[in-house]
Structure 1
Amino acid sequence: MGYPENVLAKDEHVVLHRHPHWGRLTGPAVALIVLTAVAAFVAGYVNTRDWESNARNIVFLVIAAIWLLLVGWLTVWPFLNWWTTHFVLTDRRVMFRHGLVTRQGIDIPLARINSVEFRHGLIDRIFRTGTLIIESAAQGPLEFHDIPRVERVHSLLYHEVFDTLGSEESPS
């Protein structure tokens, strides 16, 4: 999914667009599998009982309603939060947007960035993710967690900052 062009300034171009790492979705995927297995087991048990068909149907509806509620809360909601979280690097700024119902965001002009760091431990390195730390002139360090291929993002951001400044230190 590309980032909406209507939030970009005239002649501004997206250099990089990322959602958080897919690893954030493993918990919801496991929850979906477990909830479905439990609901199927309970429904199978109810089906073996010698109950009146109306009572059995009502119990099936209750099982389905509880399953839908839990799947929505533990699976769909985290997926939608993941889908609506954007880390965007343009040729002018860094943008971070997140939230489904209540949206929040921050824009950092490249010219105001003082330093760019990344951090990732062993597990993060295995899954090629990490934390990007940006320190701007206006604020203290901002940490962006679960950035896929954080080293590449760090490098791109570093190059964009120096290209924007037109510095003699530019690594080109």
Structure 2
Amino acid sequence: MKLGPGEHVIVRTRPHPRALLLPFIGALVVLAASGFGLGLLSRDGLPSAILGWVPLLVVLVLAVAVLILLRIFLRPMMRWWGMRYILTSRRFIKRHGFSTRREHELALASIYQLDTSQTLLQRSTGSGTLTVDLGRDRTVVYPDVPQVHTFKEFMVEAIGDLPLTVMFDGVDMEADPVRDHGQEESR
């Protein structure tokens, strides 16, 4: 990521790992079921009709387990691993993708309002959903932001630290227009 002059990174984080809880539980179930299946195939007293098929059935159980693990655990893990929320002194960036990288960038000066929401589960883990209002009925939602209230405070502080010329498209809003206008009339 290339930073502009005077820009610095404030926060770089991933979404909260709570999103991996269900895939992890699913992986445990798949591993337990696979272990049970392999245990059944390795026991004594199997019918003679199945004994010839045991090596193939073992490979089949392992292959099915690996395919299911890739689908329900590795895929969400890679999605989580490849996602980042980056807050700089001028921009908010969401990067995602592992093999194909995508990036969504918002200038902090374009943000009108920040809202946070938390479900009961999110409150217990400290994460939450950050909704960014860009005006004109345009909102962007960022789910599972860790420590969402602290992250929002960092964003509000970064927006407050922006120079006024950035906030108002180059117009110097610090000058008092009434006083300057009055001085021009008296000249």
Given residue 3 of structure 2, which amino acid in structure 1 is its aligned partner?
L
Structure 1 range deviating more: 70-79 or 108-117: 108-117
Letter in 2 for 1:55: W
Label 1:13 to 1:73 Cα distance change in 2 as closer, same or farther (>3 A).
Answer: same
Instruction: Give the conservation status (yes or no) of the 8 Å contact 1:112–1:138.
Output: no
Report the Cα distance in structure 1 between the residues aligned to 2:136 and 2:162, rounded to whole angstroms: 18
Q: Which moved more, 1:32-41 or 1:122-131?
A: 122-131
SS of residue paired to 2:78? helix
1:93 touches 1:107 (CA, 8 Å); kept in 2? yes
Q: What is the Cα-based RMSD across aligned positions, in Å? A: 2.2
Please state how far the C-alpha of 1:14 moved relative to its aligned partner.
1.3
Corresponding residue of 1:107: 105
- What residue number does 2:117 align with? 119
Q: So what's the TM-score if we normalise by structure 1?
A: 0.85
Matched ranges for 1:10-89 at <5 A: 10-48=5-43, 49-51=46-48, 55-89=53-87
- The alpha carbon displacement at 1:162 in A equals 0.8
In structure 2, distance between residues paired with 1:29 and 1:83: 14
Determine the structure 1 residue equivalent to 2:154.
Answer: 156
Identical-pair percentage: 23
Q: Which amino acid aligns with 1:70?
A: I
More strand by share: 1
**Cα-to-partner distance string for 1:110-148 (whole Å, 9 max, x where unaligned):** 111111111113322111111101122587111101101
Per-residue CA deviation, residues 17-39 of structure 1 (Å, 9 max, x unaligned), is 12111110101111111100000
How far apart in 1 are the matches of 2:102 and 2:136? 18
Tell me the distance in 2 between the aligned counterparts of 1:11 and 1:53. Answer: 72
User: How many pairs are equivalent?
Assistant: 163
Q: Are 1:134 and 2:148 matched, yes or no?
A: no
The structure with the largest alpha-carbon Rg is 2
| Counterpart code for 1:35 | V
SS of residue matched to 1:164: coil
Any unmatched runs of 5+ in structure 1? Answer: 1-5
Structure 2 unaligned segments of length 5 or more: list them.
168-172, 174-187
Match for residue 95 of structure 2?
A: 97
4+ runs deviating over 6 angstroms: none
Q: 1:78 to 1:20 in 2, by over 3 A?
A: same
Q: Residue 3 of structure 1 aligns with which residue? A: none
**Once structures 1 and 2 are overlaid, which stretch shifts more, 26-35 or 9-18?**
9-18
Farther-moved stretch of structure 1 (124-133 vs 44-53): 44-53
Q: Distance in 2 between matches of 1:7 and 1:68?
A: 39
**How many Å separate the matches in 2 of 1:11 and 1:63?**
57
